[in-house]
């Protein structure tokens, strides 16, 4: 027994000694690795310093030695590009422009990084959640290429500030996702004579245009069309859906951002443009179509365009003074209050009014009221309220009220997307509409009432205020946040 105890003690002592030796070796390895990193940094600094010197103390060559390995384009090195939006489009565009060696990259964005951004906004990482997107993006870009000058603008673009920001850049990239900002970017680019690469993406589709190219003075018909030339009127406010609300397939927005970078490089490196330049076109991408790309030729500048024609009403003065109201022009103001308080109910009030009763065996014994979820199917499939019906807002908006006869008081014919039990005039069960944030649901309520589903006020039709995000906050903290 004594010999066994001595053997165990001896083994424990050997293990302790070996562990101590291992710790010592780890410390020595760490010191050696740090020393190697310091030497490498010093060597890099020496190489860069040597690149910057010549016999008379000035730089002998226009690019640094390392930059010649990255790109030999002097035009790229001297170019100044402004990217408005550091999200799904701006991230891949900035990534490839920085990698190509563009000399100055400005990034405009007032948003911060969220976890829901990470699947498609490839410059941002989990550790940067909560940071300004421009700071997160520049942190990554500097690791990719430390030579360009990166200029952050940590605020959303405004008409008053846009001209002062744009004037220092050669080319603008519109990487935003709302019409008001798109018109502002295009107008400012035209008024300052800057070419514009504009892209958009939603769900599985994207569009790309190079606008105001060639950039001619206002009134010059040989100049390229602007955003207002292509879309003189903004889309209906209730049809505008952002990537966050409508969903987006990451590689789709990535494809469009990469194409923006490609078009930007083509504009920067091409010879001076003239009136014989390639005609403007709209590139349409659809991930599930064959072929996925098609091109539509665009018209030249409109003779009555509000910004680039001889009779333009939008000027730098109207921008800076605020008299050009882009929010009013696009009709997106007041969306949150489009329903009266009586037509809205909070998730907490809904649950109090319609509690879920459960029998001893665990089965629900109370019928839930009619709940119409107007998110797109891809979002509905991620998570949905029990017994809810999915009717996408795009389906609701695509149908128009059509009266069955000439009687002005006749009820409009009911569309096929309405389930029979919901459309039945015999049913007086309340109808609640829900979406992700509580915006589309208000539009849907108005549409359902136009169709007469409220039976002249006898049947309640309203929305769940704040949508499923509020449902998560007030009712179910385990509800998926996307």
**Annotated binding-site residue? 72:** no
DSSP tally for the chain: helices H, then strands E:
18, 13
Give the residue ranges of DSSP H helices in 231-315.
243-246, 250-269
Known binder of ligand: residue 51?
A: no
Between CA 385 and CA 323 the distance in angstroms is 45
| 175 labelled binding-site residue | no
Tell me the Ramachandran region of residue 299: left when phi exceeds 0, alpha when psi lies from -120 to 50, beta otherwise.
beta
Q: Which class for 453: exposed (0-12), middle (13-18), buried (19 or more C-beta within 10 A)?
A: buried
**To which residue do tokens 């649950």 refer?**
351
437 is an annotated ligand-binding site residue: no
The Cβ of residue 375 has, within 10 Å, a number of other Cβ atoms equal to: 27
How far is 102 from 105, CA to CA, in rounded Å? 7
Determine if residue 308 is labeled as part of a ligand binding site.
yes
If DSSP codes are grouped into helix, strand and coil, which group holds residue 203?
strand
438 is in an annotated binding site: no
Q: Per the annotation, does 12 bind a ligand? A: no
What six digits make up the tokens of 233? 């009127």
**Residues tagged active-site:** 243, 435
The beta-strand segments (E) located in 406-447 are 431-434
Query: How far is 176 from 179, CA to CA, in rounded Å?
Result: 9
Please indicate if the annotation marks 74 as binding a ligand. no
Q: Is 330 annotated as a binding residue?
A: no
Contact 398, 408 (CB under 8 A): no
355: left (phi over 0), alpha (psi -120 to 50) or beta: beta
Q: Which residues of 273-300 are buried (b: 16+ CB within 10 A; e: fewer)?
A: beeeeeebeebebbeeeeeeeeeeebee
Is residue 107 within a helix (H) or strand (E), and if so which, with residue range? strand 104-108
State the CB neighbour count (10 A cutoff) for residue 37: 10
C-alpha span between 413 and 15 (Å, rounded): 85
Q: Is 88 annotated as a binding residue?
A: yes
Ligand-binding annotation for 109, yes or no, is yes
Q: What is the DSSP letter of 132?
A: B
Phi/psi of residue 23, each to 5°?
Answer: -60, -40
Q: For residue 229, say whether it is annotated as part of any ligand binding site.
A: yes
Known binding-site residues for ATP equal 88, 109, 116-120, 133, 177-178
Which residues participate in the annotated binding site? 88, 109, 116-120, 133, 177-178, 226, 229, 305, 308
Residues at the binding site for Zn(2+) are 226, 229, 305, 308
């Amino acid at each position: 027994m004594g010999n066994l105890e001595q053997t165990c003690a001896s083994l424990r002592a050997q293990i302790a000694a070996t562990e101590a030796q291992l710790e010592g070796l780890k410390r020595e390895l760490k010191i050696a690795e740090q020393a190697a990193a310091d030497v490498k940094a010093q060597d890099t600094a020496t190489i860069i310093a040597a690149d910057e010197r010549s016999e008379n103390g000035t730089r002998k060559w226009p690019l640094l030695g390392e930059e010649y390995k990255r790109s030999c384009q002097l035009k790229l090195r001297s170019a100044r590009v402004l990217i408005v939006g550091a999200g799904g489009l701006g991230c891949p565009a900035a990534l490839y422009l920085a990698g190509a060696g563009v000399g100055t990259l400005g990034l405009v964005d007032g948003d911060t990084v969220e976890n829901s951004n990470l699947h498609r906004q490839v410059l941002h990482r989990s550790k940067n959640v909560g940071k300004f997107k421009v700071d997160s993006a520049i942190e990554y870009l500097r690791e990719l290429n430390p030579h360009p000058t990166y200029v952050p603008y940590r605020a959303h673009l405004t008409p008053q500030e846009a001209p002062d920001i744009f004037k220092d850049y050669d080319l603008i990239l519109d990487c935003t996702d709302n019409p008001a900002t798109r018109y502002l970017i295009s107008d400012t680019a035209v008024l300052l004579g800057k070419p514009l690469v504009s892209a958009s993406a939603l769900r599985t589709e994207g569009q790309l245009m190079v606008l105001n190219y060639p950039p001619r003075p206002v009134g010059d018909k040989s100049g390229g069309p602007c955003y207002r030339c292509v879309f003189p009127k903004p889309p209906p406010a209730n049809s505008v859906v952002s990537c966050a609300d409508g969903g987006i397939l990451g590689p789709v927005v990535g494809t469009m951002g990469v194409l923006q970078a490609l078009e930007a490089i083509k504009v920067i490196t091409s010879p001076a443009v003239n009136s014989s330049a390639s005609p403007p076109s709209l590139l349409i991408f659809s991930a599930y179509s064959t072929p996925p790309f098609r091109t539509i030729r665009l018209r030249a500048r409109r003779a009555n365009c509000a910004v680039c024609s001889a009779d333009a009403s939008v000027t730098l003065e109207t921008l800076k003074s605020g008299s050009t109201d882009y929010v009013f022009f696009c009709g997106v103001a007041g969306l949150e209050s489009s329903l009266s308080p009586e037509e809205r109910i909070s998730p907490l009030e809904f649950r109090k009014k319609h509690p879920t009763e459960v029998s001893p065996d665990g089965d629900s014994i109370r019928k839930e009221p009619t709940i119409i979820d107007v998110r797109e199917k891809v979002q509905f499939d991620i998570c949905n309220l029990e017994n809810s019906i999915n009717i996408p807002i795009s389906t609701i908006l695509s149908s128009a009220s059509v009266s069955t006869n000439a009687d002005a008081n006749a009820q409009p014919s009911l569309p096929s997307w309405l389930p029979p039990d919901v459309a039945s005039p015999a049913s007086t069960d309340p109808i609640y509409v829900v979406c992700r944030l509580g915006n589309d649901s208000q539009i849907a309520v108005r549409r359902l009432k136009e169709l007469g589903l409220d039976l002249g006020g006898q049947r309640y039709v309203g929305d769940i205020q704040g949508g499923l995000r509020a449902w998560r906050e007030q009712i179910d903290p385990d509800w998926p946040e996307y």
